[in-house]
Each structure stands twice: as structure tokens, then as C-alpha cells.
Amino acid sequence: MASWITVKPLVIVLRWQLLITIVATCVLALLMDLQYAVSAFLGGMVSIISSAAFAIIVSRHKGYSAGGTIRTALRAEAVKIFLTITLLWIVFKTYDGVKAYAFIGIFILTVIAHSLALFVSDSKNTDRIN
């Protein structure tokens, strides 16, 4: 089955972001109330959606020149920033019961998880040092 995202580190990071969001949502649902859990879920989803758009754009890159790679990275980052700002605005504008600490806290955790993609190996055999 073909995937829209072909860059292994980005797939792993998206899975980590989803796991962080689900765990935080469940913990807040148990410890606080439903509005905290929904706020945490929305905060995580803002980051996940924008990270997925970034990953899709990067995965579609076919050129091998340095200039093409930089253009693709800049375009992907611009789309990610635009989506992040738009989704943050939509949540704060439409959801009156948003708990800002839960929303922003999980959003920040998932953004940090996205930045850890640099540390994920892309090779199939990570036991060897080349």
C-alpha cells in the first residue's frame, strides 16, 4: 500500500505526535474534565495536521539539486506555518470552552516532537556504524 508520506523519520515523528496527543487527552480526561481533554486533543491535532502537510510536501520532492531541495523545504515550512496559524485561530475563534494551558501545552509538546525528526535514523540497519 502506497503512502503519501515516504520519509521514514517524518512518519515516525507523526506517530509520536499522535501518541503524545492520545496519552495527554486520556490523562486529562481522567484527572480533569472533558473540556481539558478536548483542548489537549485540539492542540495536538493542530500540530499533527500541519506536520502531516509538511511531510507530504517533502515526500513529493523528486529533484536532487541543492536549490530544489531548499525550495521544497521552504515551501513545506511555509505551508506548515500558514496551517498552524490558521488552525490556532480557528480553534480559539470557534471553541469557547478551550482551556488554554492544556491546548497550548500539548501543542508545544507535539511541536517539540516534530523537531526531533532530525534525530531519527532513515537507514534500515541502525545497528552498524558506517
Please, where are the H alpha helices in the chain? 8-31, 34-59, 66-94, 100-115
Q: In angstroms, rounded to a whole number, what is the distance separating the alpha carbons of residues 106 and 16?
A: 12
Range of the domain at 91: 8-118
Whether the per-residue pLDDT at 2 is higher than 90: the answer is no
The alpha-carbon radius of gyration of the chain (Å, integer) is 17
124 located within any domain: no
45 located within any domain: yes
41 located within any domain: yes
Cβ pair 49, 87 in contact under 8 A: yes
126 located within any domain: no
pLDDT of residue 117: 67
Predicted model pTM = 0.83
2 located within any domain: no
Q: pLDDT tens digit string along 88-130? A: 999 999 999 899 999 999 999 999 988 876 666 666 554 444 3
Residue 81 pLDDT level (bands cut at 50, 70, 90): very high
55 located within any domain: yes
Number of domains in the chain: 1
128 located within any domain: no
Residue 69 pLDDT level (bands cut at 50, 70, 90): confident
Cell output for 89: 485561530
Percent of the chain with pLDDT over 70: 87
63 located within any domain: yes
